[in-house]
Every structure is written in C-alpha cells, then in structure tokens.
Amino acid sequence: MQVVKRGLTIRAHNSIIRASFQGVNVATRVIPNYSLYGVQAQPAWQNWFDFEWIPQRSRPYNWKIRPHQHDALIQILYVTQGSGEVLFDHAKASFSAPCLLIIPAQTVHGFDFSEDVDGPVVTAAQRPLESLISLASPELLASLRKPAVMALDDASGHAQALMPLFLAMEREAQIQAAGQLTAGMALLTAICIQVARLTQTNEASVSKAHSRKSAQIEKFRNMVDEHFTRHLPIGDYAGQLGITPGQLSRLCREVLGMSSLDVVNARVIHEAQRGLVYTGNSIKQLAYTLGFADENYFCRFFRKHTGLSPREFRAKAMSAMLIPATIKSTSANV
C-alpha cells in the first residue's frame, strides 16, 4: 500500500484552478478532482487510507480550501479546536469544536477554517470501506453516505473514544509493516461505529412524535432526490407515504417551514445551480437533464426561484470563484 505523498506546491495548485475556472472554453470549468487537496486523484486501490492533521493541508492555503471533490474517497475530520465554515455541494454550514465532519466520495466541498483550527483527518477509499462494513454491520452505511456536521458532547463516552482511534490510525499510516492495511481499515471501521453511535444518540434525544414526522419527511426527501427530474405530482409522493397531498404539505410546513411543492422545486434549483457552477453543460443540455422539455420554460422557472437567469447565475458564480489578482501575483513568486 502506498501512503499519499503530500507537498504539491501552491503554484501547481493555482494552475489547476486557473485551468478549471479561467479558461476560455466554458467546458474546462470543472470542479477539481483530488485524492487529497492539491494532489491529483489516483486510482482508489492505490491509497486505501491516509492520515494527517488539519493544519498540514490548510495552513499552506491560508486556511481556505477551495471547492473540490474526491471521486472515490471519503473523509472524516475530527475538529478538536477552532471553527469554520464548510461547503457541501451548494450549501454552507458553520461548525465549531468539538465536532465531526463527514464528507462522502463525490461530494463537492470546501473549507474556510479559523487559524487556530486543529484535529485529525482520515481519508479512505469509500467502496472498500463500505464492503468491509456491510459484511458485519450494514446498518452503519447510512451514516457514511451523506455529508454531515455532527456536534459532539465532550462528556459523551462515544466522543471520548474517538481520539485514541484516530491516534492509532496515525501510527498505522506512518509505518510500513505486515498487516498495515488490515489494521488501518479495522481502526477506520471502529471510528465509523463511533460515528453511527453518536448519530443514534442524537436521534434518541428527539421525541417519538417528532421522530415519526422526521422519518416521514426523510422518506419524502429521499423520494424527491430519486424522482425530482420526473416532475411528479405531489399526490404521487403523498400516495407513497400513505397520506393525502394536503397532509404532506402541512407536514412539510411544520417540519421544514415550506410546502411540499417548495421542497421539490428547491431540489430542482439546487441541482440546476450545481450544474451551472460545476459543469460546462449548455443551458439547453442542463434543462433536458433536469426533465424540462423546453429551455425557455426552464429559464423562466429558474428566474422565478432565484431572481437570476441561468446565464446570469453562472456568470456571477464563476466570478465569485476566480482567484483574486493579488493571490495570483503572490503565488507566481513561490
């Protein structure tokens, strides 16, 4: 097994970003795909797990990690000090220590850390990890497949069990010895078990009535994730839940603060924004991908919900993601 080699220069990193976001051809504006940030992606089988501390990778980039993704790798960050903001796809969330950040494979993500941030990071090949876990504890898989910010209680026994496991992972990542891969994946599985236990502890604190409503909402949102490009009537979703369209809308307003139709529309808009920012697809291609037969209708729909046309939104988002001239001139001298 090879441990990922670190230390790509800032200049090389910035050239990747310029090629991605400042090229003349819009099709080149794709989100960078890294094994670790600043290191071009390698086949997943070459690096089944890696360990480092948050400052090792974030300090050279002034504590700001620009949006990127790992095609086949999951990351688990244990923030023990400091705070920051994380981007998951097109949504942002604040966090502060102590907490866990779960970033599944193929999740577009970025960070804006405080300068005092610290904590371990484990990166692992997600499919081999899931294969291992599915054999013994398949119920743990759900906690690894959705990005999450998980606040921790210092007094929790599960939280206290985390650091010894991360430190043991660090030792395994630094040695070349028989059984290194097996030991590393076993420790990572133990970390995943603690993550699942913490998730269950948080859920257990919610009342039964609220848990039932949350379960219905979660099922509805999962159905929306699967079928939003088909533009199904709300009645179809409600029927699958065994309730009426009116009951579903009232449930959504109570739990989410929006109607059931707003939930579906928000999912469409989320995917449209993601496509406009992270792909070079034309507006027509994007409209077709999202289930719109007519490009003009898609543009009207998008403007109604965002206040911008798709082209205006793309231009604004691309402008916001460009590297400032002061940073480029400084990095050119590195």
* Domain final residue, candidates 173, 204, 235: 204
pLDDT average, residue stretch 322-327: 41
Residues 137 and 258 in one domain: no
The pLDDT confidence band at residue 10, using thresholds 50, 70 and 90, is: very low
Q: For residue 156, count other CB atoms closer than 10 A to its CB.
A: 16
CB contact burial 302-323 (16+ within 10 A = b; e otherwise): beeeeebebeebbeebeeebee
Is residue 216 assigned to a domain?
yes
Q: Kindly report, residue by residue over 77-88, the tens digit of the pLDDT.
A: 999 999 999 988
In one-letter notation, the amino acid at residue 94 is S
Residues 160 and 255 in one domain: no
* Statement: residue 200 has pLDDT above 80: no
| Sign of the CA dihedral running 292, 294, 299, 301 | negative
What pTM, to 2 d.p., does this model score? 0.51
Q: Which of 101, 122, 120 is nearest to 112 (CA)?
A: 101
- Provide the pLDDT for residue 201: 66
Report in angstroms the alpha-carbon separations of 194 from 78, 161, 190.
12, 8, 6
pLDDT average, residue stretch 18-43: 42
The pLDDT confidence band at residue 208, using thresholds 50, 70 and 90, is: very low
In one-letter notation, the amino acid at residue 128 is P
Residues 212 and 178 in one domain: no
Residues 155 and 93 in one domain: yes
Average confidence score pLDDT of the chain: 79
Distance CA 232, CA 173 (A): 49
Residues 292 and 200 in one domain: no
* Domain final residue, candidates 154, 188, 204: 204
What is the end-to-end Cα distance of the chain in Å, rounded? 32
Is residue 273 assigned to a domain?
yes
Contact by Cβ (8 Å): 290, 264: no
Contact by Cβ (8 Å): 103, 74: yes
Is residue 4 assigned to a domain?
no
Higher pLDDT, 160 or 297: 297
CA angle in degrees (0–180, nearest 5) for 234-226-250? 30
* Domain final residue, candidates 147, 180, 204: 204
Is residue 107 assigned to a domain?
yes
- Provide the pLDDT for residue 311: 95
Alpha helices in 175-289 (DSSP H): 180-204, 208-227, 234-241, 245-256, 260-278, 283-289
- Provide the pLDDT for residue 132: 80
pLDDT average, residue stretch 177-183: 82
Residues 175 and 191 in one domain: yes
CATH number of the domain at 276, please: 1.10.10.60
CATH number of the domain at 99, please: 2.60.120.280
Residues 95 and 32 in one domain: yes
- Provide the pLDDT for residue 52: 93
Backbone angles phi, psi at 163, to 5 degrees: -60, -45
Angle formed by the axes of helices 260-278 and 234-241, to 10°? 110
Is residue 2 assigned to a domain?
no
- Provide the pLDDT for residue 44: 39
In one-letter notation, the amino acid at residue 23 is G
Q: Kindly report, residue by residue over 238-294, the tens digit of the pLDDT.
A: 999 999 999 999 999 887 888 999 999 999 999 999 899 888 899 999 999 999 999
Residues 213 and 189 in one domain: no
- Provide the pLDDT for residue 212: 75
Distance CA 207, CA 151 (A): 19
- Provide the pLDDT for residue 33: 57
The residue count for the chain: 334
The pLDDT confidence band at residue 226, using thresholds 50, 70 and 90, is: very high
Helix (H) or strand (E) holding 95: strand 91-96
Q: What domain range is 266 assigned to? A: 208-321
- Provide the pLDDT for residue 321: 59
Is residue 123 assigned to a domain?
yes
Is residue 333 assigned to a domain?
no
Q: Kindly report, residue by residue over 100-134, the tens digit of the pLDDT.
A: 999 998 888 999 999 999 999 999 888 888 888 87
- Provide the pLDDT for residue 135: 73
Is residue 92 assigned to a domain?
yes
Q: Which of 66, 67, 4 is nearest to 39 (CA)?
A: 4
* Statement: residue 5 has pLDDT above 70: no
Residues 168 and 235 in one domain: no
The pLDDT confidence band at residue 210, using thresholds 50, 70 and 90, is: low
Residues 179 and 217 in one domain: no
- Provide the pLDDT for residue 207: 44
The pLDDT confidence band at residue 2, using thresholds 50, 70 and 90, is: very low
What is the total count of domains within the chain?
2
Listing from the earlier edge strand, what are the strands of the sheet with 99-103?
49-53, 120-125, 73-79, 99-103, 148-151
- Provide the pLDDT for residue 122: 92
pLDDT average, residue stretch 210-229: 86
Residues 199 and 250 in one domain: no
Partners of 120 in the β-ladder: 53
Say what the alpha-carbon torsion angle 259, 263, 265, 270 is, to the nearest 10 degrees: 150
Residues 198 and 62 in one domain: yes
* Statement: residue 217 has pLDDT above 50: yes
